[in-house]
Amino acid sequence: MILPVVAYGDPVLRKEAEEVQEGMEALDSLIENMWETMYRAEGVGLAAPQVGRSLRLFVVDGSPFGEGEEGAPECKDFKRVMINPVLFEESGEECDMEEGCLSIPGVREPVTRPVSVKVEYFDADWVLREEALTGIAARIVQHENDHLDGVMIPDYVPPLRKAMLQGKLKDIAQGKVPADYPMRYPGKSIR
């Protein structure tokens, strides 16, 4: 089932999400719906708070970045469900890259992040995994993990630029920015 994506401005996106309990009821169908919703919106990642569930869980599929000869090798077959993830910084090295977010349609901003991270998480079969990630795969996971702590792209934007973004963010929250996937807006339900 495709779920509406919660738009910027909804308090659920700013909450510290709760740990998923092992054996949680309907966890499989939530994950299934999150995949469907992410692919419908042509995203490479979707966190549970973005479908209105304040839980520490996200899905990522970076394979669009891995396509073709020029594709990022770390993104080939990079499809994961990460439950209760914990991130560790791998190195002190950071880089800038423009990011977008399904909850903030039409906004793309450069975000500075560590190049590499290590992540520990439970997969969909509740097996504890540890992975070292780099490049775009590391970036996608850091972006989604931020959602679990209520952190979003505008939080990384310098103050002047953020001030310039305010009008656009307000429009998004009020449902005035069209997206080609179903969205849920704070305080009202459109599309």
Instruction: Tell me if 101 contacts Ni ion by CB under 5 A.
Output: yes
Nearer to Ni ion, 83 or 141 (CB): 141
Q: Among residues 20 and 47, whose Cβ is nearest to Ni ion?
A: 47
β-pairing, 183-184 vs 5-6, is parallel
Distance CA 112, CA 117 (A): 14
For 159, counting Cβ atoms within 10 Å of its Cβ (0-12 exposed, 13-18 middle, 19+ buried), the class is exposed
DSSP labels, 108-130: -EEEEEESEEEEEEE-TT--EEE
Q: How far is the CB of 125 from Ni ion (least distance, A)?
A: 25
Q: Looking at 3-11, 101-109, 118-126, 182-190, which segment touches Ni ion (CB under 5 A)?
A: 101-109
Minimum distance of Ni ion from residue 22's CB (angstroms) = 26
Contacts of 159 (CB under 8 A, 6+ apart): none
Q: Is 36 a catalytic residue?
A: no
Report d(CA 124, CA 35) in Å as an integer. 12
Give the range of 3-11, 77-85, 93-101, 127-135 binding Ni ion by CB under 5 A: 93-101
How far is residue 161's CA from residue 120's CA, in Å, rounded to a whole number? 34
With CB atoms as reference, the residue minimizing the distance to Ni ion is 101
CB of 13 to Ni ion, least distance (A): 9
Stretch that binds Ni ion, among 13-21, 94-102, 117-125, 160-168 (CB under 5 A): 94-102
The count of chain residues that interact with Ni ion, using the rule CB under 5 A, is 1
Query: Would you name the residues annotated as active-site residues?
Result: 144
Which residues here bind Ni ion, judged by CB under 5 A?
101
